[in-house]
Every structure is written in C-alpha cells, then in structure tokens.
Amino acid sequence: MSEAMSPATLVVWGGFALAFVFGAIANKTNFCTMGAISDVVNMEHWGRVRMWLLAIAVAMIGTNLLGFFGQIDLSKTLYLRPNLPWLSLIVGGALFGVGMTIASGCANKNLVRVGGGSVRSLVVLVFTAISAYMTLKGLFGQWRASYLDPVSLDLAAMGLSNQSLPHMLAKMTGLPDATALLLVGGAVSLALLVFVFKDKRFRKNISHVVGSVVLGLLVVLGWYLTGHIGFGENPETLETVYFATNTRTLESFSFVAPTAFSLEILMLWTDKSMHVTFGIATVLGILLGSFAYAKATKQFRWEGFASIDDLKTQLFGAVLMGFGGVTAIGCTIGQGLSGVSTLALGSFIALASIVGGSVAMMKWQIARA
C-alpha cells in the first residue's frame, strides 16, 4: 500500500472530513449542550436538548450495530475498561459542567465559535488545552493520579470483563451478550426517540432533526474509521494496532484532550516522533467546517471579550474545562455523545455529573443576579 493510502493517512484525513461536516452542521443548527441545558433551566424549552438526545440515540444505535456485527471491538475503547474510576468521573464531570457554563460553551462550541470569528473562544481554547495538558502530563495530572483515579471499582474482580450495561445485564441474568446488547441498546434508544419525537414542534423542525441524525451518524463513522479501517497490522512491528489515535485504540469524537495534543504538536512541530492523529485532525476539521459555513452564509464576524471581568471569568472556566474534561475521560461530546454510544456505565455517570455541574452553576448565577 502506498504511503498516501496507509491506514494512518486514511484515519487522519477521514477524521478531518467527518469533523468538517460536524463543524458546519453544529454551526448551522446551533448545536450546543450547554446552550441546551440553559434553555431548559432558564426558559423550560427542550428543543436543543431533543437535538442532543436524538444525536445520542442515532449514535447509540449505529455504534452498537457495528459492535453486534463484529465490525469494531467496543470492549477495547477507553470507556469500557473494567476499571471504573467513579470519583474521577463525578468530580471531573461536575467541574467540566461548571467550567463550560462559566465559559459560555463546551470545547466543541468554542471550536465552532472560533470558526465563526470569535477571538474570545480562541483564547478559551488555548487555556483549555494548557489545562488539559497539565492534567494529562503535568501538575494537575499528579493530583488526578494521586487523589482521584485510585478511588475506583475493579469490575474484573466482580467477574465483569468490561463496564457496558448490556454485559452487566448478561452477567446478572445469564442472557447471551448479544441478546443483552439488543435489549439494553434497544430499550434506551427507543426511550430517547419516543421522548424526542413526542414534541410536535420538534418534529416539524426538519433542519434540527436532520442535523441531529447526521451528527449521530458522524460519531458512528468515527468509530468505524478508527476501529475498522484504522485497525490492522503495523508493517514495521508486525503487531495488530489501531493507527493514528492518541489512545492507541479506537476513538470517536472528543475535544478536550485533542486540544491539548493539538497544542503539543504545534509547539513540538520539528520533533519527528510527533504525528497528526485522528483527534488532532478532528479539532482542525470542526474549526474549518464552522469557518466554511460562516463564510458561505456571511455570518463570519470578529468577536472579542466584553471586559476584563469577562476575560477573567472565561479563563477560569477554560481551566476547569481542561481539568474536568481529562479527569472525566471526555467532554459533552467525548462522554456525552461518543461515550454513551458505547453504553458504558462510566459514561452515563460522567454525563450526569456534567449536566449536574452545569445546572448547579446556572442556578447559582441566577441566584446572584
């Protein structure tokens, strides 16, 4: 196979293309988890939450069908490891939720805003990346590894090979894993779809319905790209590997740790051991997809900070997002879309903590006003 068509190259360019579409659609539909939560808390409007839940349902159905038919091995993902770091998931998720509320958007939303001309969001992303890198390999990482990650449940000691909800049901009931997967995945997906489409106004909003379905499918394609197309034998070591992923296993969309890896490769560009990965390519793809949509619709405009107080608040939120996103093993997209699509128990814990942290922060802001 030629260099241009190597699995690593396909994964990187494929990730960029998927993220480009994701960024354009997220900009067009105003897809934003923090905004969706804010709509419910402040106005009791569930439209954007339904968008998010529809994307989750589609991602969940598609991802588990890939696993069911043996196209990818979901048990190899970070989300399904048999160690459940519940304290890290709760604390990291809650801090991420607080941080994204203070910073007026999660990592994905800030990438979309940068594409639309927001210098403020660019600064937020840089500080998110620095904080995330410190949590991966620096000072914050020492705190995480010393005080949070050790508080965990060893599911392997309980006879569980992973933390997927279907696997747990199979162990408790004696059902075959495939049957348990269909039951759990089908029940959760159906419940989400019923809630989403019971609202007549949402059903009539074709742009949001189609946009959400496509976003969910992009997550599925991300899993297929890294877990099937990017899975094969390394010609140098003859080992079977996942090509061009930072975690060395299959991945889909997530935007906190990849911002840190993006900053790292920019700072160490001449280091020949550094390579563009799927995660880095998706960061760039989201930004340029949003930029292309903003320019095409003449919505691109420069935006800065409103005041010094605004700057301080945004930077504090960015630091919390960087620490929380890495500690919780994902953000509103990494855990709240990609992670829950695997039906991992830890992803649901992280997602609940993110939402809880965000809601608590919003209510505190309302009380202060």
- pLDDT (tens digit, 9 = 90+) per residue, 256-294? 999 999 999 999 999 999 999 999 999 999 999 999 999
Query: Residue 1 has what pLDDT?
Result: 42
Q: Say how far residue 260 (Cα) sits from the centre of its chain.
A: 14
Tokens of 125: 């992303």
Query: Residue 5 has what pLDDT?
Result: 73
Q: What mean pLDDT is reported for the chain?
A: 96
Query: Residue 42 has what pLDDT?
Result: 93
What is the spatial distance between Cα 39 and Cα 93, in angstroms, rounded to a whole number?
A: 20
> Which CA distances in Å does 20 have to 50, 120, 138, 210?
23, 21, 31, 17
pLDDT confidence band for 226 (50 / 70 / 90): very high
Give this prediction's pTM: 0.96
Query: Residue 237 has what pLDDT?
Result: 81
Model confidence at 369: pLDDT above 80: no
Mean pLDDT over 338-348 rounds to: 98
Model confidence at 357: pLDDT above 60: yes
- pLDDT (tens digit, 9 = 90+) per residue, 13-72? 999 999 999 999 999 999 999 999 999 999 999 999 999 999 999 999 999 999 999 999
In the beta sheet, which residues pair with residue 240?
233
Residues 112, 26: contact at Cβ < 8 Å?
yes
Query: Residue 161 has what pLDDT?
Result: 95
Amino acid at 66: L
Query: How many structural domains comprise the chain?
Result: 1
Residues in the chain: 369
Please report, rounded to a whole number, the percentage of residues in the chain having pLDDT higher than 70. Answer: 99
DSSP 2: -
For residue 176, the tally of other CB atoms under 10 A from its CB is 10
Model confidence at 4: pLDDT above 70: no
Where b means 16+ CB within 10 Å and e means fewer, 49-84 reads bbbbbbbbbbbbbbbbebbeeeebbbbbbbbbbbeb
Helix (H, G, I), strand (E, B) or coil at 232: strand
Q: Assign residue 104 a region: left if phi > 0, alpha if psi is -120 to 50, beta otherwise? A: left
Residues 103, 331: contact at Cβ < 8 Å?
no
Longest dimension (CA), the chain: 62
For residue 273, the tally of other CB atoms under 10 A from its CB is 5
- pLDDT (tens digit, 9 = 90+) per residue, 126-144? 999 999 999 999 999 999 9
Tell me which residue range forms the domain holding 213. 3-368
Model confidence at 187: pLDDT above 80: yes
What is the spatial distance between Cα 202 and Cα 155, in angstroms, rounded to a whole number?
A: 40
Which stretches within 69-118 are classed as H helix? 86-102, 107-115
For residue 112, the tally of other CB atoms under 10 A from its CB is 30
